[in-house]
Amino acid sequence: MNSVVAEATGVGEFQLRIDTGEHSFLMDEPLELGGLGTGPNPFDLMCAAIAGCTLMTMRLYAAHKGWTLGQLRVRVAHSKGKRGARDRFDRTLDLGEVTAEQREGLVRIARRCPVHLLLERGAELTDSVAESDLPAAVADTDHAADIEELCKAAD
């Protein structure tokens, strides 16, 4: 099971160090919200997870199909739901010059990226209180294999 550990840096009100097991980076809030603006905020990271996973999935699918494509880009915007309503993520795919077949395949596989599927089906979130020091973060090693499996199943 992969894991991520977050801890306060002691600098500013919101600045945190995020450790993924292989990487470490800062998370923060923008200056206008009382942060130091030293890193992405949690919703930026959610958007980045969707955009990044989508792009990785499309690129692997294109390689699996033997397609040579130009630059692909993905933009994800987030809108918070009002009073109990669901939040919304709007994903825009910039596919450049592609054939109709490539366009159809890339749009279809984008909707099958692992992060998209996770958000679609929902996830269970549990809580517990640590009785001792937290174990170190453990990097996710299954994501690329999940994408590969989805691409093979898409044919």
User: Higher-confidence residue: 144 or 34?
Assistant: 34
Of 53, 63, 123, nearest to 93 by C-alpha is 53
The pLDDT of residue 98: 96
Phi, psi of 59 (to 5 degrees): -65, -45
Both 144 and 70 in one domain: the answer is yes
Q: Is residue 57 part of a domain?
A: yes
Both 146 and 95 in one domain: the answer is yes
Dihedral, CA of residue 16, residue 51, residue 31 and residue 5, to nearest 10: -10
Tokens at 16, concatenated? 């945190």
Both 77 and 152 in one domain: the answer is yes
Q: Is residue 133 part of a domain?
A: no
Both 17 and 57 in one domain: the answer is no
Whether the predicted pLDDT of 38 surpasses 90: yes
Do residues 74 and 92 make contact, with C-beta atoms less than 8 angstroms apart?
Answer: yes
Both 75 and 65 in one domain: the answer is yes
Q: What is the pLDDT of residues 77-131, one digit of tens each?
A: 999 888 889 999 999 999 999 999 999 999 999 999 999 999 999 999 999 898 8
Q: Is residue 74 part of a domain?
A: yes
The pLDDT of residue 113: 95
Q: How confident is the model at residue 154 (pLDDT cuts 50, 70, 90)?
A: confident
Q: Is residue 128 part of a domain?
A: no
The pLDDT of residue 50: 97
The pLDDT of residue 142: 75
- Count of domains for the chain: 2
Both 79 and 61 in one domain: the answer is yes
The Cα–Cα gap between 135 and 5 comes to 9
Do residues 30 and 41 make contact, with C-beta atoms less than 8 angstroms apart?
Answer: yes
Both 81 and 9 in one domain: the answer is no
The pLDDT of residue 124: 92
| Residue-range definition of the domain harbouring residue 99 | 41-122+140-155
Cβ contacts of 72 within 8 Å, gap of 6 or more: 55, 58, 59, 62, 93, 94, 95, 96, 106
Q: What is the pTM of this model?
A: 0.89
The Cα–Cα gap between 143 and 121 comes to 17
Both 55 and 19 in one domain: the answer is no
